[in-house]
């Protein structure tokens, strides 16, 4: 069996990265030592999620719901997964913070090895991102059960012939010791805040780097974000200078994004930043340096000062709207 | 509160990287070395927490002899002392090995009367990105463990509690907001960049670091080893950029592209 841990959002939809992980499991079934495609959902299982999973070719949905699992506690959630994990095969999740943490717990509890940020699997073993996505490590996980996380946007979700997945519900027994690290409260995001979901789900992201010049230099960039109904993403330099919160940081230690378009304004293209934008479908650079990595890697570029260029772009969009 | 912070010497990969002759590691001869951003924040949080509780900060690394540089850099910003577990070929060790080695040191120190209330690590190392050493260590020590934590607030235990008493409040970013945890000590916590700004060393700190006590051990042979077969570099990308123009005059062309992609809000 290949078992995929699936995350759902507040509206009951399977999140994009989980749909990617399910697709990865299905399309690599011949080398993942799992002949069936099962998923585990912890918490509510709305019809929308079931329908999405059916479209993704899932055969069995293991539905794990218990009052002790309502507040997140990694050991308790991991043990719930271990209780249904196969003895032989693969357990995997997307490489989100939850996915990474849970798979590490599952690996320890099942005496298995784990590979994080896998991007491919074939007869020679697994290939995973290392060095912030600038290199790949080929490895083989020995043991009967292999535990993986799939790098965000390593594949595109693909629907297949729809299935009628069997839903299995469980009577769970949660150990008190596994609740020692339970969330005691969640402080909902505020506008200045820590919500990275907008950034990771956005179809258009406007990136801003040191080139904005100061904490007060984001005016044109934020207007462009508004015109695109997108999100602002910034480089590590920007958060390091305290101009914007870390939640907006894109890159190796920030969010990894996969928008339809990423417009990099005044960002030179450090390796750590490029690691975060690999999934962007179209890359546009606005930069004074024609030789910068960002311009060289872009699909389209404008050479010039970002304030002047973005200001003119905003004006053009306003003009076309009439 | 006495805190152990585990850090790792990693190559600074801001430039182009190449592989060594074996094809199993990168050639870091011409590269500088540093610690991961998450670990810099772990050191900062440890210093702040120890200062608030009258405790100490010890930094530990498993690495080559040169990794003493990273230990001294942590002392220069406020750690008290360091532990170097020398491994000539750190790449031969898997995450299970590293967790076991650190666990053995924690137990050994406890037997000598130095019990750590808290063990901090970076969420993952910037080179290997394994994301499991902290969790494996916690299971080895039978301590509770959290990951993705950005800030810590001591809520008991106080100065020199010596392992095992008190608690700590930890905060990290979850899918729906900032998640708050209350954790009994001792515990293992993996830190995510973003909650604190690492400080720069002072001249006094640099002087102190030169004289800091670094206890050295020799790493045992890897037990489980590293499952790595080799490293691969992605094919070099050739530029296929279309230059739309220079300055504000090119705005029109860019808006055409955005309209074609279909991302301009109506």
Mean pLDDT of B21-37: 89
Q: Write down the mean pLDDT value for chain A.
A: 92
> Tell me: the pLDDT tens digits for A236-255?
889 888 899 888 999 888 88
> Tell me: the pLDDT tens digits for B35-80?
999 999 999 999 999 999 999 999 999 999 999 999 999 999 999 9
- What is the structure's pLDDT at A191? 47
DSSP chain B: --EEEEE--EE--SS---B-TTSSSB--TTS-EE--HHHHHHHHHHHHHHHHHT--EEEEEEE-GGGHHHHHHHHHTT--EEEEEE-S-GGG--HHHHHHHHHHHHHHHHHTT---SEEEEESS-TTT----HHHHHHHHHT--EEEEEEEEEE-S--TT--SS--EEEEEEEETTEEEEEEEESSEEEEE-TTSSPPPPPPHHHHHHHHH--EEEEEPPPPSS---EEEEEPPPPPPP--EEEEEGGGGHHHHHHHHHHHT-S--
Could you report the predicted ipTM of this complex, rounded to two decimals? 0.93
Query: Is the per-residue pLDDT at B237 higher than 80?
Result: no
Q: How far is CA B111 from the centre of its chain?
A: 26
Reference B129, options A95, A247, A6; nearest CA is A95
Range among A146-155, A241-250, B99-108 with highest mean pLDDT value? B99-108
Chains A & B: contacts with CB separation below 8 Å? 248
Query: Is the per-residue pLDDT at B213 higher than 80?
Result: yes
- Answer yes or no: do B255 and A303 touch at CB < 8 A: no
CB B132 within 8 A of CB B20: no
Residue A289 at interface with chain B, using a CB cutoff of 8 Å: no
* A171 CB-contact burial (10 Å; exposed 0-12 / middle 13-18 / buried 19+): exposed
Q: Residue A118's beta-bridge partner residues?
A: A128, A150
> Percentage of chain A with pLDDT > 90?
75
Alpha-carbon span A294 to A297, nearest angstrom:
5
CB B149 within 8 A of CB B183: no
Residues of chain B neighbouring A113 (CB-CB closer than 8 A): 94, 96, 224, 227
> Tell me: the pLDDT tens digits for A273-311?
888 898 899 999 999 999 998 999 999 999 999 999 999
- What is the structure's pLDDT at B54? 94
- Answer yes or no: do B247 and A308 touch at CB < 8 A: yes
- A-facing residues of B in 37-76 (CB < 8 A) are 37-38
Residues of chain B neighbouring A195 (CB-CB closer than 8 A): 177
- For residue B32, give how far its alpha carbon lies from the nearest alpha carbon of chain A (Å): 14
Coil, strand or helix at A117: strand
> Tell me: the pLDDT tens digits for B105-127?
999 999 999 999 999 999 999 89
> Percentage of chain B with pLDDT > 90?
79
Residue A318 at interface with chain B, using a CB cutoff of 8 Å: no
From the list A10, A131, A284, which residue is nearest B254 (CB)? A284
- A-facing residues of B in 74-133 (CB < 8 A) are 94-96, 124, 126-132
Reference B5, options B53, B51, B55, B40; nearest CA is B40
Diameter over CA atoms, chain A: 64
DSSP A289-302: -TTSHHHHH-SEEE
With CA atoms as reference, the chain A residue closest to B245 would be A302
Query: Is the per-residue pLDDT at A196 higher than 70?
Result: no
> Tell me: the pLDDT tens digits for A39-86?
999 999 999 999 999 999 999 999 999 999 999 999 999 999 999 999
Alpha-carbon span B201 to B69, nearest angstrom:
13
Alpha-carbon span A97 to A2, nearest angstrom:
21
CB B75 within 8 A of CB B46: no
Mean pLDDT of B235-247: 88
First to last CA, chain B: 57
Residue B180 at interface with chain A, using a CB cutoff of 8 Å: yes
Alpha-carbon span A116 to A96, nearest angstrom:
10
Alpha-carbon span A293 to A282, nearest angstrom:
15
Identify the helix (H) or strand (E) that includes residue A17: helix A16-27
DSSP A232-288: EEE-HHHHHTTSS-GGGBBSTTSB----SEEEEES----HHHHTTSTT-SEEEEEES
Alpha-carbon span A126 to B96, nearest angstrom:
19
Q: Residue B171's beta-bridge partner residues?
A: B151, B180
Lowest-confidence segment of B3-12, B50-59, B150-159, B183-192 by average pLDDT: B150-159
Residues of chain B neighbouring A270 (CB-CB closer than 8 A): 14
- What is the structure's pLDDT at B258? 96
Residues of chain A neighbouring B37 (CB-CB closer than 8 A): 236, 252-253
Reference A23, options A48, A46, A55; nearest CA is A55
DSSP assignment letter at A138: E
Coil, strand or helix at A221: helix
**Strands A183-188 and B118-122, sheet pairing:** unpaired
> Tell me: the pLDDT tens digits for B242-256?
999 999 999 999 999
- For residue B117, give how far its alpha carbon lies from the nearest alpha carbon of chain A (Å): 16
CB A138 within 8 A of CB B232: yes
> Percentage of chain A with pLDDT > 70?
97
């Amino acid at each position: 069996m290949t078992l995929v841990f699936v995350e759902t959002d507040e509206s009951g939809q399977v999140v994009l990265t989980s749909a990617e992980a399910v697709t990865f499991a299905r399309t690599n079934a011949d080398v993942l030592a799992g002949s069936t495609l099962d998923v585990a959902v912890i918490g509510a299982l709305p019809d929308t999620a079931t329908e999405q999973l059916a479209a993704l070719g899932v055969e069995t949905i293991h539905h794990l719901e218990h009052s002790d699992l309502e507040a997140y506690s990694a050991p308790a959630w991991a043990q719930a997964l271990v209780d249904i994990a196969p003895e032989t095969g693969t357990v995997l999740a997307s490489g989100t913070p939850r996915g990474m943490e849970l798979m590490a717990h599952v690996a320890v509890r099942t005496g298995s090895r784990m590979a994080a940020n896998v991007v491919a699997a074939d007869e020679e073993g697994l290939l995973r991102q290392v060095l912030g996505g600038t290199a790949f490590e080929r490895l083989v996980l020995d043991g009967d059960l292999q535990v993986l996380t799939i790098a965000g946007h390593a594949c595109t979700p693909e629907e297949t012939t729809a299935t009628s997945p069997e839903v299995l519900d469980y009577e769970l027994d949660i150990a008190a010791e596994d609740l020692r690290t339970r969330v005691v409260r969640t402080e909902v995001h505020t506008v200045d805040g820590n919500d990275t979901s907008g950034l990771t789900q956005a179809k258009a992201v406007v990136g801003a780097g040191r080139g904005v010049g100061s904490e007060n230099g984001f005016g044109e960039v934020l207007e462009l974000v508004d015109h695109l109904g997108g999100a602002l993403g910034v480089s590590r330099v920007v958060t390091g200078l305290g101009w914007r919160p870390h939640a907006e940081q894109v890159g190796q230690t920030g969010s990894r994004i996969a928008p339809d378009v990423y417009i990099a304004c005044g960002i030179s293209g450090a390796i750590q930043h490029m690691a975060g934008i690999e999934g962007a479908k179209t890359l546009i650079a606005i930069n004074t340096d024609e030789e910068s990595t960002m311009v060289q890697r872009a699909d389209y570029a404008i050479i010039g000062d970002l304030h002047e260029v973005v200001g003119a772009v905003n004006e053009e969009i306003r003009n076309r709207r009439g | 509160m006495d805190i152990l912070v585990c850090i790792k010497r990693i190559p600074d990969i801001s430039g182009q990287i190449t592989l060594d002759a074996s094809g199993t590691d990168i050639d870091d001869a011409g590269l500088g070395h540093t610690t991961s951003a998450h670990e810099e924040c772990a050191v900062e949080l440890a210093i702040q927490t120890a200062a608030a509780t009258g405790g100490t900060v010890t930094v530990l690394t498993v690495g080559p002899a040169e990794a003493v540089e990273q230990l001294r850099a942590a002392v220069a910003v406020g750690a008290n002392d360091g532990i170097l577990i020398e491994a000539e070929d750190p790449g031969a060790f898997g995450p299970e090995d590293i967790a076991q080695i650190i666990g053995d040191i924690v137990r050994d120190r406890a037997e000598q009367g130095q019990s750590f209330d808290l063990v901090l690590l970076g969420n993952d190392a910037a080179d290997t990105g394994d994301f499991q050493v902290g969790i494996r260590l916690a299971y080895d020590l039978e301590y509770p463990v959290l990951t993705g934590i950005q800030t810590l607030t001591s809520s008991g235990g106080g100065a020199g509690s010596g392992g095992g008493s008190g608690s700590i409040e930890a905060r990290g970013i979850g899918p729906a907001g900032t998640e708050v945890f209350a954790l009994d000590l001792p515990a293992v916590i993996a830190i995510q960049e973003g909650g604190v700004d690492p400080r720069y060393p002072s001249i006094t700190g640099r002087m102190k670091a030169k004289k800091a006590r670094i206890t050295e051990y020799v790493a045992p042979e890897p037990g489980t080893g590293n499952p790595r077969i080799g490293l691969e570099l992605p094919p070099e990308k050739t530029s296929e950029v279309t230059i739309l123009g220079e300055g504000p005059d090119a705005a029109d062309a860019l808006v055409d592209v955005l309209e074609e992609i279909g991302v301009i809000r109506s």
